[in-house]
A and B are shown apart, each in its own frame.
Chain A
Amino acid sequence: MAGTTSAEEATVNLPLPDRGTPIPSGDHTVWADVSPLLDAACKDLQDGMLIHGDNFNLFAAMSALEIMDPKMDSGMVCKYYSVDEAIEDGAAPVPTSFDKTVDVQRTIDIMDHLLACEATWHKGHSLAQTVFSCIYLLRLDRTSSHALLNSYCRVIRATCKAVISVVSDARTHEEEDLFTMTYGLPLNGDGDEKCLSMLHAVEETISRQLRACKAPSSKTRVLEDLVSLQNNSELEEGYCKALLCRLRFRKHFYHVLTSMKRPQGRGLELARKHIASCISELEYTLSSSEILRSSTFGSHEGNLEDKTTASGCEPIGFDASLNCRLSAPTPPRAIKILSWKKAVEYFIKLLHDLDVICSYPLDPSLESVLHFVVEFQKSQPDLVARAHLQRLLVQDGKLYGRDPIFAVIIRAAALPESTRNHDIQKQESIIQLGQLVINLLKVLCTNGAWQRRKLGKILQDWRVVFVQIEMAFRKEFGENANISNDQNVSVKLFQHILLWVEKQTYWIACRFLILGFELELYSLSEYCMVYWYIYVVLIKLAEKTSLKTVVCNDSGKRKGKKKRDYVKDVARDYRIPPAVLFLQCQICLAEGLTMMLAALKNDRMLVQSRSPFNTEHERFIQQFELLQRACIPDHVSFSLFVESTTQACLSNLVMYDYFKDAHRIAKEIKSSFSNDPEKLAELRRLEQVAEHNSIALNVISRAGAQDPSLKVSFEFNHHPCFATAVVRRS
């Protein structure tokens, strides 16, 4: 059919000699207008009919990009056809006004709006639609005559580049895929390395202007041959100050980024100083809002809460539609730039998060690093902060770029430092284990949802690596290793590492289950099985932890003691270590909650709507499929869950109250954690949950099932993942 030339077409209108269509039709061809023909054909078509060729596929056709659809067509032309046209039209004049006072006001507005754009970008929108909606940034060279604007835009560009580099190095951006997309944006310009000195020069000038306007006489001004910032002497001081805090914030923020980038955490100390300066400059910036609002002309209708500038004025020189086609392949989403106030709040939070990262002692103990990351995630840090943390933790495949992963593992597995150069580290499975540890650290730095998904997946890898190491061990030493432990370092190495891998695997499983609460992935009808699963995983974790403690003490004490003395010592000294008791307390709570929920269900006290879509077994599979696939723990199945909960009833529960146990343990071990405020706070929370649940259980069992007005619900008001039963009379 292609290329058929027939007389039929001759009836189309006379071809337009490329009038109105500036696209050349090619050699020896012309454009023929077929609109009237198509209109006629459409009129003759029946409803639902199409004109199409043999290769037509309705399904494929449905994936066509719809032109002029705001959600699909990123090229829609709104106001201007191009940046150049916008500039010619006066959308971004330099200077922003010939009135110096207005120029200063407008420049401050541009600075504020850029800050709001930057925060919006950090929060997950594309750079093209946020920071680079600024026409001045898109054509930075135009501003060279305007030192203030030029230096500010330049440092913004350099900052964006630095942030992109951190985030793409950390590869945390996979969770926010838009973040590092910079295609087509003028991000690389000359002279950005000088941005700080330019900023410094401008800052110097303005601080002299500030001093001059504060001086009692105009003598200084004459002396220094200084031109004032703008013409209105009443506003001079306010404007100078407003500009200074904005410029200084940029300077310090850029310093924060560059110092944090220094290898092996060497710049963290310095970064903290700059972070403190950043925060105080932001506070000055916030306080400058009032004077800016009062001094600008024009009306201030509407709330400052949703304005993107401190003055409340609309900034000039921004058009997000100009380059939204650069944000391809994603469709341009309609985005709302954060308000200026929200942006400042965002940056203060970011700086606090960065400060937490910088103040963490570079401790090579993996356990404390993992604990730190988990604690850090509780404050829900945003992408940029998490990327910084990740890059600090893993550099060149080493912890903090200093400690080789094998050495870190050795330490975590409680082996002596002397073994860190042992040949075992060259084994394939041990190398893989090192990769898993690095991967785990990275995964823990990602956002909750992404993290949970990845944790679930890496559980299998940990299981596999465990099996591989075990096999390597067997291969080397046979089934029954008859070699004395004292003599053979390798045996000890293997045993310690295996134990540690198991413990770590259960730790990951535990984190995976607990994250489900934070992400609200469980429904009331699933709490029982979730707590049961947490209970079985915690038991394993406690078992491995206590075994590890025994093994550690074992190797520590043996030196220089005869065997007979040693046996006596163990019997005398053995106390359950606090870390295990801590887990014990959580185990009691999980078990108590499992039994309570099961009893409530069995006694029909808990109003649960049965899901019409899936059975309890199916839900069990859906929730724990990844754990089951990795055999964590071994031999745990749905039938075991049913078996252990089906007999639960309230009368038995009161006789044996798990919550009382939990409460007692929590009280007992508090003294062991007296110098760990985080653990103490956690214990207090556990204690509260135990106490409340114990009381609730009593109330329920006393009123009994015969009181239908009793309503039991569960809330997370004392602990984020251990629920508290609330009893109400309806």
Chain B
Amino acid sequence: MEQEAAETLIQVASSDGSEPAAVNRARKLLFRRMLVGIRDGRFFLGTFHCIDKQGNIILQDAVEYRSTRRSSPSPMEQRCLGLILIPSSCRTSCHVGCSVEEQLSLLSF
């Protein structure tokens, strides 16, 4: 029941055409490769799946990258984690992959 209620709420919210521009733009980032860095120095690379009001991000098929040295540059270790939730409190950086053309078009602004 609760789940259903929550989902309808979400459906209603997303079908709402008059959503703010930032939300609309953020929605365009869904399904793209996203790289999130967190406080302890690790990075997570996965498919952008979801974000909530509090800024918690869910990535799908995520891979964890960790340096083997505190001083960079250092070799990286990696392992697969699957579906992960990154609380906004520990997030330090967030990037999405985009093509060079996009970047160029970006520079033209």
Contact = CB atoms under 8 A, between A and B. Distances in A.
B27 A51 contact: yes
Given A22-B67, A52-B49, A31 B96 contact: yes
Contact of A81 (B38, B70, B88): B70
B22 A65 contact: no
A480 to B, nearest CB: 64
A614 interface: no
B42 A75 contact: yes
Given A44-B23, A50-B13, A38 B28 contact: no
A68 B84 contact: no
Contacts of B37: 20-21
Given A38-B51, A50-B50, A81-B70, A58 B3 contact: yes
Interface residues of A, number: 67
B55 A6 contact: no
Nearest to A78: B40
Contacts of A53: 30-31, 49-50
B58 to A, nearest CB: 5
A50 to B, nearest CB: 5
A5 B67 CA distance: 32
A11 B68 contact: no
Given A5-B99, A10-B105, A68 B39 contact: yes
A42 B50 CA distance: 12
A7 B35 CA distance: 21
A323 to B, nearest CB: 11
Given A32-B103, A51-B30, A9 B13 contact: no
Nearest to A30: B103
Contacts of A3: 31-32
Specify the main secondary structure of chain B where it touches its partner: mixed
A33 B109 contact: no
A41 B51 contact: yes
Given A5-B102, A9-B106, A40-B22, A45 B52 contact: yes
Given A23-B76, A75-B42, A34 B94 contact: yes
Contacts of A360: none
Interface string B9-35: 110011000011111111111111111
A52 B65 contact: no
A6 to B, nearest CB: 6
B32 A2 contact: yes
Interface string A56-95: 1011110111111000000111101110110000000000
Contact of A32 (B23, B40, B98): B98
A8 B109 CA distance: 11
A48 B31 contact: no
Nearest to B71: A85
A456 B76 CA distance: 51
Contacts of A12: 106
B85 A58 contact: no
Lowest 5 A-B CB distances belong to which pairs?
A41-B26, A31-B95, A44-B20, A82-B68, A2-B31
Given A3-B32, A9-B25, 4 more contacts: A26-B33, A29-B98, A34-B26, A85-B68
25 contacts: A1-B27, A11-B109, A15-B95, A21-B37, A23-B43, A23-B65, A28-B99, A31-B97, A33-B93, A34-B26, A34-B94, A35-B93, A38-B26, A38-B51, A38-B57, A41-B23, A42-B51, A42-B53, A46-B53, A51-B14, A61-B85, A64-B58, A67-B84, A68-B38, A81-B69
Interface of B: 3, 6-7, 9-10, 13-14, 19-35, 37-45, 49-55, 57-58, 64-70, 72-74, 76-77, 79, 81-91, 93-103, 105-107, 109
